[in-house]
Structure 1
Amino acid sequence: MNENEKKVIEQIVINTVKKLLDEKESPNRVVLGISNKHIHLSQADIDVLFGKGYELTNIKDLKQPGQYAAKETVKVVGPKGCFDKVRILGPARPESQVEISLTDARSLGLHAPVCESGKLEGTPGITLEGPNGKITLDKGVMVALRHIHMPLDIAAKLGIKDKDWVSVETCGVRKTIFCNVLARVSDKFDYEMHLDTDEANAAGLKNDDYLKIIPNR
């Protein structure tokens, strides 16, 4: 290989890497976070399950500011099945909710609706068992609507407002376009898309993959 050929190959490599970096930094490229089944608890329910005044133990910060995976887990008991050691995410919330996939819902024997996090009306209840006691929620089990946490600057660049709907394109062997993705815009958010395990597995995705937002016009 002569010097001219080497220079041509080097330039091709440089251009390819630059293109990949430019695509990754583009505002419509969003990183993926895959949500396994988990629980958010109110402080009143934490008190019942773990003891009065109990504080959750942070073992890992999540990408969203102030959110973390707790050391504590509980047993989730449905009409037909149960899951041991389901992770709690902190901090405490005003109301408890259990986020699962449609596959999880069938295993538990529940008809859990697909809905936005925090929208608990019309959701079924479930029993939670902790080391200090158990509670039966009368509502709160859901399949979380796929969504994107979007900071204000990114939303402005893309012309997207809070509660807008967008589509998101993946790549790879199972290339997919996810429609009806809710944009949640706030200055308190870091830029991240959330899918549950069913959706991610169907599209052959993994944590930290980059996806492309297609605004609905």
Structure 2
Amino acid sequence: MQIPVGVSARHIHLSQEHLTALFGAGAQLHPKKALSQPGQYASEETVDLQGPRGKIERVRVLGPVRPETQLEVSKTDLLKLGMQAPVRESGQIEGSPGLTIIGPQGQVQLEKGVIVAKRHVHFSPDEARRYGVRDGQFLTLRTSGERGLIFEHVSARVSPKYKLDFHLDTDEANAAGVQTGDEAEVIELDGLHEQEHFHGNEIVRVNSSPKIEKPTEFVR
């Protein structure tokens, strides 16, 4: 099973309240480029981020607006900002940290919403049925090439709003030497090997060594 790769750079989703605070009364997002997921787009608008020990400028706002503001960054971005954040599924922002968001008309002190997005694959319901994948299932994917890697614990996310795409962040993509438009191969579904994709040495081996009991005393 081959899945197209979509590399996700740092970006932010804004609530309407925060969009207004940052860009002024009556502010709306202006689409700049359509994204792989239906109805999603990169907007013309950008914001600056101020962390405890660093700043990142011109972070793209993605649309449309959401009920809650959420910032998705890489581990490398967190180092620059001087902060830590959890690896989470999109929308799971409880207990995550905040920072200062700076716009052209104002700024927002975000109390929560900074996460490192957990790598995942989007499926439409038809695609999920075709590939035998269910929502919430974990997949293992392999990329090819000079720096090919195996990515474990990849979440399957199924919705009528989605289109087939493997999302990973820039740190992960750079480590594997992949870019948007490349493909990754699914080699495992919830721990069950897809044998037709295996090539010889991925046999699960059971440790048959006898158990050695710890001695109760030393022989002198």
Q: TM-score normalized by structure 1?
A: 0.86
Segments of structure 2 that go 5 or more residues without pairing to the other structure are: 193-220
Amino acid at match of 1:167: T
More helix per residue: 1
- Cα offsets for 1:109-167 (capped at 9, x unmatched): 11111010110011100100001000000000000000011111221122211011001
Amino acid at match of 1:191: L
Identity %: 49
2:36 aligned residue? 63
2:139 aligned residue? 166
**Aligned residues between the structures:** 190
Tell me the distance in 1 between the aligned counterparts of 2:122 and 2:75. 22
Could you tell me which of 139, 154, 157 is aligned with 2:127?
154
Tell me the distance in 1 between the aligned counterparts of 2:127 and 2:12. 29
Tell me the distance in 2 between the aligned counterparts of 1:158 and 1:168. 14
1:51 aligned residue? 24
Q: Does 1:176 align with 2:149?
A: yes
Local SS of the residue matching 1:199? helix
Local SS of the residue matching 2:105? coil
1:115 aligned residue? 88
Q: Does 1:204 align with 2:168?
A: no
For residues 105-144 of structure 1, the aligned pairs below 5 Å read 105-144=78-117
1:97 aligned residue? 70
Local SS of the residue matching 1:166? strand
Local SS of the residue matching 1:119? coil
Local SS of the residue matching 2:135? coil
Amino acid at match of 1:122: G
Amino acid at match of 2:111: D
CA shift for structure 1 position 102: 0.4
Could you tell me which of 35, 48, 53 is aligned with 1:80?
53
- Cα offsets for 1:80-120 (capped at 9, x unmatched): 00111110000000000110000101110111110101100
Local SS of the residue matching 1:88? strand
2:14 aligned residue? 41
Amino acid at match of 2:174: N
Tell me the distance in 2 between the aligned counterparts of 1:133 and 1:185. 37
Tell me the distance in 1 between the aligned counterparts of 2:175 and 2:83. 22
Tell me the distance in 1 between the aligned counterparts of 2:117 and 2:92. 10
